[in-house]
Structure 1
Amino acid sequence: MSFLYPEYLWYSLFLLPYLAVLPLYYRKQLDVLHLLCRSNLNAKMRASYRKYFTLLATFFALFILFLVLALAKPLWGYNRKAEPRAKGLQIVFVLDISRSMLARDVVPSRLSRAIGLLGELHEIFEGDELGLVVFKGRAQTLVPLSHDRLVFPSLFPQLDTEILQTPGSNLAAALEEGITQFDNRSNTSQVIILLSDGESLSGDPSYIRQRLDNWDGTLMTIGVGTKEGAELLDQDDNIITNYHGLPVRSQLQEDVLLDLSHRTFGKYYPIQELSLGRKLQNELAPLTRGNHILKYNLRDRYQIFITLALFCFLIVATLKRFGFMGFYQFSKSEGLSVLRHGNPNSWDKPNGRNRF
């Protein structure tokens, strides 16, 4: 299960102070119960009130929790539909050229290894439309989608971290730039192949997640680097340090790349994987056959949590309407006569309803 707006899940933290004060409120209400029933409060009555209070508190907490989950818009399951596809693919390569790509936790460096893979993929998908986007703190299209096979090889030697001057790393801008390259009037399958270490220092991650959820294409991510990471180097091979004089270390953010690819039912691969180019070709082969393919979309399930929240609210409202006396009378029919002890109004509010 995933969420369209996962940032709303933080609202569930409001339940923590509620749960913290519950024991105090329970003891206060129990003291009031002692005063009302005087010496007639027995062990069965105390146990019944504990059940009543627990049910009331639990279903109210669930009511709030389900509302928060509905607000975050949970997504799971599959919605199948058949779509005609033209032969061939439209593939946009999105290459990370931020400074972290100079790290040497893969040989000879992350950027060099990614450029080498680009050359291999360029040959494998030679019959498809190809485009190239590079990004740092902003993204720029170097090659629009086309069948031109001459421009790519001439660009590879020029790809370095100095093509763009905007510092940082903005995955959201890169993927947005890649998506805008496609012609939505075409029935050709749309594919983005992202080569990056997953570090994103700017941009709106929630926006790009939503954008990918609504995009009718496939994102394949290639993780360039290792989880252990490496110290960053500048163009002169000097170690980059922070304000405290300590070396800056960069690590592969595999979870970020996995999350992005899974939103489009694509796949993630580490760049160290053997025969990676052929594996990508085999994975994308079903999209090139020209007949009907199945498209899978995550289904919005917030209605389930809205229904559960309403159910919990009805239980809370019912418990409050009948009060503790109604609950106890329902669970133990002889309890009412024991409690009243000859005074039929001792448990009534001025309007005739139970106090608990």
Structure 2
Amino acid sequence: MNFVHPQSLWALIPAAAIIAAAVLTRRTILARLHVIGADTVERQVRLFLMDICMALFMILIITAAADPRGRRNPNAGNNTNLDTAVLFDVSRSMLTEDVPPNRLKAGIAALGQVIQALEGSRFSLIPFKGDAKILVPMTEDIVMLRLWMDRLGPNIFSSTGTNLEASLRTAMKSFPEGTAQRKIILLITDGEALSGNINRISRDLLVEGITVYAAATGTEEGGPIPSGNGSYVSDKSGSPAVSRADFRTMEQLAEDTGGSVYNLSRADAVSRLVDAIVSEQNFSSRRSSFVGLYQYRLYLFPALLMLFFYLCIRIWPWRK
């Protein structure tokens, strides 16, 4: 289960403080009533049940406000094709040659194999660096897609950095509205210096039923970054800057959305990636697809029920 507004759960902390203060106040009141002989077992039971109902009401209503979302299994049908948004990192670190011939070309080669295997599917192409742009809208025109694939490189954008959250939101916009196609994002990146709120975008992807598969280019040992003029990018000390792949963000994103990560430095990575995405196209029954099932009602109704019980206990006539 995931929450669309997890920040609402922080309200449980003051709620717990209020509940604790109420319990202490009840004890003080009962102690004073006991002194004057007005304390009864019925009164103690009523106050105890009222505290329980109010505590449960506050916990349930706060949980409902966080908007919990669940998942369900895909429904069988004629929907056997796939919409794939290809989010391709074109930062300069992708020119590093720790994966031959370099990270960028290894990613393009892997994408070519995926396209070949997914006959009948549609693709969009979104290169990203500091910015992201839908270079090829969602289309079945593979010729156009391959034409732009060959032009990918750091010179597409002049901005620096790699804001993954903003780029994923751009990729989400490339999916046509009102279609029943299954949706995945194929993220091709070395994972270095990715920025943005990954938890937030993961929740949004989950709600939209979009799975992320990542083709990780590069190695943890890394290598120097070519500057394009026969030399290498230097760090502050003047030595060649070493770019190292970072798989942690990709692994978190894939895990949160039901996908997986494939390291292109391994010999079988591309074939495994292709098999995984083909299973999406074939509507594999072995895996569940995440969709945004609203579950707040499962908490809202019991919360209202607790409030009703609280009022009944409080209003019901006392036994003479």
- Work out whether 1:32 is the aligned partner of 2:32: yes
1:61 is paired with a residue whose SS is helix
Partner residue, 2:240: none
Q: Any residues of structure 2 matched to 1:102-141 within 5 Å, and which? A: 108=98, 112-113=102-103, 115-126=105-116, 127=119, 129-141=122-134
Q: Any residues of structure 2 matched to 1:1-356 within 5 Å, and which? A: 1-22=1-22, 24-37=24-37, 49=44, 52-78=46-72, 80-85=74-79, 89-97=82-90, 108=98, 112-113=102-103, 115-126=105-116, 127=119, 129-144=122-137, 145=139, 146-148=141-143, 150-152=146-148, 154-156=150-152, 159-160=153-154, 163-184=156-177, 189-196=182-189, 197=191, 201-202=195-196, 206=200, 209-210=203-204, 212-214=206-208, 218-222=211-215, 236-239=232-235, 252-254=248-250, 256-258=252-254, 260-262=256-258, 267-271=259-263, 275-288=268-281, 297-322=291-316, 326=318
Change (3 A) 1:185 1:53: closer
Quote the offset at 1:296 in angstroms. 6.2
Change (3 A) 1:270 1:147: closer
Quote the offset at 1:213 in angstroms. 1.8
- TM-score between the two structures when normalised by the length of structure 1: 0.65
Change (3 A) 1:207 1:154: closer
- 1:192-241 Cα offsets, whole Å, 9 max, x none, are 201343865347964673365235x5432345678x89899895444469
8 Å contact kept, 1:134–1:142: yes
- 1:222-263 Cα offsets, whole Å, 9 max, x none, are 45678x89899895444469xxxxxx999522564135523x
Quote the offset at 1:61 in angstroms. 1.8
Quote the offset at 1:47 in angstroms. 11
Change (3 A) 1:60 1:255: farther
- 1:138-158 Cα offsets, whole Å, 9 max, x none, are 2123444431165256325xx
Number of residues of Structure 1 aligned to a counterpart in Structure 2: 300
8 Å contact kept, 2:53–2:307: yes
User: Could you say what the CA RMSD is over the residues aligned between the two structures, in angstroms?
Assistant: 4.5
Instruction: Write the distance in 2 (CA, Å) between the matches of 1:10 and 1:167.
Output: 35
Larger radius of gyration: 1
- 1:247-283 Cα offsets, whole Å, 9 max, x none, are x999522564135523xxxx12142665222222222
5+ residue gaps, structure 2: 238-242
8 Å contact kept, 2:127–2:133: yes
Instruction: Write the distance in 1 (CA, Å) between the matches of 2:80 and 2:196.
Output: 36
- 1:48-95 Cα offsets, whole Å, 9 max, x none, are 83x5544332321210111111122222242643342366x4433202
- TM-score between the two structures when normalised by the length of structure 2: 0.71
